[in-house]
A and B are shown apart, each in its own frame.
Chain A
Amino acid sequence: MILEINGLTKNFGGLTAVSGIDIKVNDGEVLGLIGPNGAGKSTFFNLITGVIPPTKGKIIFKGKDITGKRPHEIAELGIGRTFQLNPLFPNFTVLQNVISSFQIRPCSNWLDTFFNTPVYRKNEAYILEQSLEILNLVGLYKVKDELAKNQPHGYQKMLGVARALAIKPSLLLLDEPIAGMNPDEIDNTIEAIKRTSQRGVTIILVEHNMKILEICNRVVVINFGQKIVEGSPQEIKENPEVIRAYLGSGHDTKH
C-alpha cells in the first residue's frame, strides 16, 4: 500500500470541503476519483500535496506521515501532480519547462552548479536526454523550442503531465488530465497514462469524463467532500447513487 489516507478533513471557515475521507491506494494501481463539480476533488489533491494544510486527518505515504509537509518536500518524496487550471512556466520553452522540473533526481549541489564542474555538466546532459525522452513519450517533441504560453490548450495539458513525470514520481496525481481536449489528444493522453502505469508508477486520476475510467483498476466516488462508494469501473458506472449524483434523479443508466 503506497498511500493511506485516514479521516482527512478540511474546513474553510464555515465550508467543509472535505470530510472524513478514508482511502487506501495500492502500489502500482490506477485509481480513479470522480465526482461532480465542487465535490472536493481538487481540494483533496491540494491536501495530499501540501498546498493547503488539513484540518484533521493523516496522510501516510510509503509508511511515512506526510501530513502538513510543504509542497516541495512532498515532491522530493516522490509525489508528482498536475493542476486543473494547468499553470506552467509560461515564459520558458516547452523543453525548458521539462528541464526545470528535474530538481530531485539528479540534483547537483550549489558548488557544482556555480563552478560548472564536470559533475554538474554530466547531470545536465543526463537531464537534457531524459527531458527529450519524456517529451517524446507525451508527443510534444516537435514543439520543444516553442514558448509554453503560446501552445494550444491540449499541448499545455500534456506539458503539465511531462513536467510531473520529470520528478520520477512513485505516485502521480492527475487533476482532470483530459478536460478540454479533442478526441485525438484524449487517446494520446490515455496511451501516455497507460505507459506510465506500466513503468510502475501509481496513478490517481481525477476526472469527469467516464471514458477515462476504463483504464482505472478501481474508482472512488466523492460528493460533498465525502466518499460515497468505491469499486471497479463497471460497478461504478451502474451504481444508482453515482448516477443520481451526476445527473440528478429521474434519469436512466443509458447515456
Chain B
Amino acid sequence: MGSMIAARDSSSRRKNYTQIILYGILICFLLFIPLFFQSPYVLHLFILTLVYIIAAASMRFIMTSGQIPLAHAAFLGLGAYVSAVLSKHVGLSPWLSLFIAAFVAMGVGIFISFPFARLKAFYYAMVSLFFGVGLLQAIESLGKLTGGLAGITAIPTLFNTASKVPYYYCFLALTLVSLVILYRFEVSRIGWNLKAIDQSYLVSSSVGISEVKYRVLAVAIGCFFVGLAGGMYANYNVTLSPSSFDSSVTLWMIIYVTIGGMNNFSGPIIGTAVLFLIPQYFSGLKQYAPFISAAILFLVIFMFRNGLVSIPGLLMAFYKRKKSTSKSR
C-alpha cells in the first residue's frame, strides 16, 4: 500500500528498480522463446510451466496469511474439469468456460475455507490436504460427467491450430496479467493485512483486522487464479486425467514456492522454473526427472534457507564483505 511502500528507505527502492529491469529483460527473452526453441515438446514444457507458475503464485498468496492450502492441486483439477465439462458437454466457448471455471473454483474455495479459517497452521494444512483428496475423489466418482479414473478426452481447444505457438503467447499474457494482479493485491493494504494476520492473531484482531474475512479473501483470490490455470490447461491439453491433480502435485507446488523463496513474490516463479522446467528439459529419460528435482531440492533446502531468491542477496553481501576486508588490509 502506498504508505507502506513510502515507509521503505531509499536502498530498498533502488532494489525495486533493479527488480523491474530484470523482469523487463526476462519478459523480452520470453517473447522470443518460440524462435529459439522450435521443438513442440519444449514449447509444451514452457506452457506447462506457465500454468504451474500461476498455480504456485496463487498458492503463495494464500500462504502469506499463514495458511497452507494443501488442496491447491485439487482446485487446479476443479478448474480444469469444470472448463472441460462446460466446453465439451455443455457446448460453451472454451474462452467462456475458462473464466466460469475460475469463478467456480473461487466459489468452492470460499465455501470450504469459511468454517476452517480460524484453524491454526498445522490443522488447516491437514484439513485442506484431506479436502483436496476428497475433492479429487468426488471428481473421479462423477464418472458419467468426468470420465472417472480414465479422464476426459477431446476437450475443445482455445485455438483451432495444431501449433503450440499461439497457446504459448496467450498463456504468457494470461500469466503476466495474473501475476500483476496478484502483485497488486500483495503490495496493497490487503496483502499487508494478510502478513499481519500471519504474524500475530492477537495484534491484528486488536486493531480491527478480521482474521476470517481476510483469510477467506486470500483463498478466494488464490482459488480464482488456480482455477483459471486449470481451465487453461484443460482447453490446451485436450485430455485430462485425475492423477495429474492429486495431492503429490500440491506438495510439489509447496516445494516450488518454498525452494523458490516464500518471502518474495518472485519465489514461486523461480521455484517452478528451476524445479519443474529444468529437470524436465534436461532429463534424457523422463523417469530420472524426479531425482534431479529431489537433488536440487535437498541442495537448496539445506544450504539456502530463504530459497533461491535469496541467493543474489547473499552473493552481494559476501562480495561486499570481501571488498571491505581487502580494503582494510
A adjacent to B, CB under 8 Å: yes
Residues of A bordering B, CB below 8 Å: 49, 51, 70-73, 75-76, 80-81, 83, 87-93, 95-96, 99-104, 108, 110, 113-114, 116, 120-121, 124-125, 127-128, 131, 144-145, 163-164, 166-167
**B205 to chain A: which residues have CB within 8 Å?**
51, 70-72, 75
CB distance from A20 to the nearest CB of B (A): 26
Q: Give the complex CA separation of A83 and B205 in angstroms.
A: 12
Q: Give the complex CA separation of A145 and B4 in angstroms.
A: 11
Q: A164 to B206, Cβ gap below 8 A?
A: yes
| 12 other A-B residue contacts (CB within 8 Å) besides A72-B208, A131-B3 | A72-B211, A76-B208, A88-B200, A89-B195, A89-B200, A100-B204, A104-B207, A113-B189, A128-B6, A145-B7, A145-B8, A164-B207
**B7 to chain A: which residues have CB within 8 Å?**
93, 95-96, 99, 128, 144-145
Q: A90 to B199, Cβ gap below 8 A?
A: yes
**A73 to chain B: which residues have CB within 8 Å?**
210
CB distance from B319 to the nearest CB of A (A): 24
- Whether, in the assembled complex, B320 has its beta carbon less than 8 Å from a beta carbon of chain A, the answer is no
Q: B188 to A114, Cβ gap below 8 A?
A: yes
The secondary-structure label for the interface of chain B is helix
CB distance from B64 to the nearest CB of A (A): 11
The chain B residue sitting closest to A80, CB to CB, is B206
- Whether, in the assembled complex, B190 has its beta carbon less than 8 Å from a beta carbon of chain A, the answer is yes
How many pairs of residues, A versus B, come closer than 8 Å at their CB atoms? Answer: 112
Q: B208 to A108, Cβ gap below 8 A?
A: no
Q: Give the complex CA separation of A8 and B125 in angstroms.
A: 37
- Whether, in the assembled complex, B292 has its beta carbon less than 8 Å from a beta carbon of chain A, the answer is no
Q: B2 to A166, Cβ gap below 8 A?
A: no
- Whether, in the assembled complex, B196 has its beta carbon less than 8 Å from a beta carbon of chain A, the answer is yes
**B9 to chain A: which residues have CB within 8 Å?**
145
- Give the number of residues in B that approach A within 8 Å (Cβ atoms): 30
Q: B2 to A87, Cβ gap below 8 A?
A: no
- Whether, in the assembled complex, B193 has its beta carbon less than 8 Å from a beta carbon of chain A, the answer is yes
Q: Give the complex CA separation of A99 and B206 in angstroms.
A: 14
- Whether, in the assembled complex, B202 has its beta carbon less than 8 Å from a beta carbon of chain A, the answer is yes
Q: Which of B1-45 contact A (CB under 8 A)?
A: 1-4, 6-9
The chain B residue sitting closest to A46, CB to CB, is B202
- Whether, in the assembled complex, B95 has its beta carbon less than 8 Å from a beta carbon of chain A, the answer is no
Q: B206 to A116, Cβ gap below 8 A?
A: no
Q: B190 to A113, Cβ gap below 8 A?
A: yes
B185: contacting residue among A72, A81, A114, A167, CB under 8 A: A114
**A102 to chain B: which residues have CB within 8 Å?**
207
Q: B208 to A167, Cβ gap below 8 A?
A: yes
B3: contacting residue among A70, A87, A125, CB under 8 A: A125
User: Would A89 and B199 be within 8 Å (CB), given that A70-B210, A101-B207, A167-B207 are in contact?
Assistant: yes
CB distance from A163 to the nearest CB of B (A): 6
Q: Give the complex CA separation of A164 and B217 in angstroms.
A: 25
CB distance from A140 to the nearest CB of B (A): 13
B190: contacting residue among A70, A101, A104, A114, CB under 8 A: A114
**B196 to chain A: which residues have CB within 8 Å?**
89, 92, 100
Question: Would you give 18 A-B contacts (Cβ < 8 Å), ordered by A?
Answer: A51-B205, A70-B210, A71-B202, A72-B211, A73-B210, A75-B205, A83-B206, A88-B199, A89-B196, A92-B199, A99-B3, A100-B207, A114-B185, A127-B3, A145-B9, A164-B207, A166-B207, A167-B207
**A116 to chain B: which residues have CB within 8 Å?**
2, 184, 188
CB distance from A37 to the nearest CB of B (A): 20
B207: contacting residue among A70, A75, A93, A110, CB under 8 A: A75
CB distance from A243 to the nearest CB of B (A): 34
A72: contacting residue among B190, B192, B200, B210, CB under 8 A: B210
**A93 to chain B: which residues have CB within 8 Å?**
7
Q: Give the complex CA separation of A124 and B4 in angstroms.
A: 8
CB distance from B251 to the nearest CB of A (A): 26
Q: B190 to A103, Cβ gap below 8 A?
A: no
- Whether, in the assembled complex, B203 has its beta carbon less than 8 Å from a beta carbon of chain A, the answer is yes
**A124 to chain B: which residues have CB within 8 Å?**
1-3, 6, 189
- Whether, in the assembled complex, B209 has its beta carbon less than 8 Å from a beta carbon of chain A, the answer is yes
**A128 to chain B: which residues have CB within 8 Å?**
2-3, 6-7
**B209 to chain A: which residues have CB within 8 Å?**
72, 103
Q: Give the complex CA separation of A113 and B186 in angstroms.
A: 11
A87: contacting residue among B8, B188, B200, CB under 8 A: B200
The chain A residue sitting closest to B210, CB to CB, is A72
Q: Give the complex CA separation of A76 and B6 in angstroms.
A: 26
Q: Give the complex CA separation of A248 and B6 in angstroms.
A: 55
